[in-house]
Amino acid sequence: MNDNLVRLIEKAERLMERIEAVLPKPLSEPDWSQSVAWRYRKRASGHGALEPVRHVGSIALADLKEIDGQKDKIERNTRQFVEGKPANNVLLTGARGTGKSSLIKACLNAYAPQGCA
């Protein structure tokens, strides 16, 4: 090899070392046993990670009143999903305070023991 090529390779290696030092480290797989719910958090650096939700609301499906139509549909769909049967994606719509997130938490609490997480 000629000297110019050797110097170019050495410079390229030093440059790659500097770039690798500022790149984010590979994410390790989360310990899925820590929680039944997870949240993606973006860091100030612009990189993110999954974090366990430590305190999942303990609401039950029976606690939800006056939303029986929605409750029946999402419960049936979630049950089918957990059983490995055909299920749909779910998009809950409605005004603020109508129980959308409570319904999701209740389904999570009901079906997490069967693998819904």
- What is the predicted pLDDT for the residue at 117? 62
22-62: pLDDT as tens digits: 887 777 788 888 888 899 988 777 778 889 998 888 999 99
- Above pLDDT 70, what percent of the chain? 98
C-alpha–C-alpha distance, residues 84 and 5, integer Å: 58
Domain ranges of the chain: 61-114
pTM: 0.65
Q: Is the pLDDT at 18 greater than 90, yes or no?
A: yes
C-alpha–C-alpha distance, residues 58 and 22, integer Å: 41
Asked if residues 98 and 70 have their Cβ atoms less than 8 Å apart, the reply is no
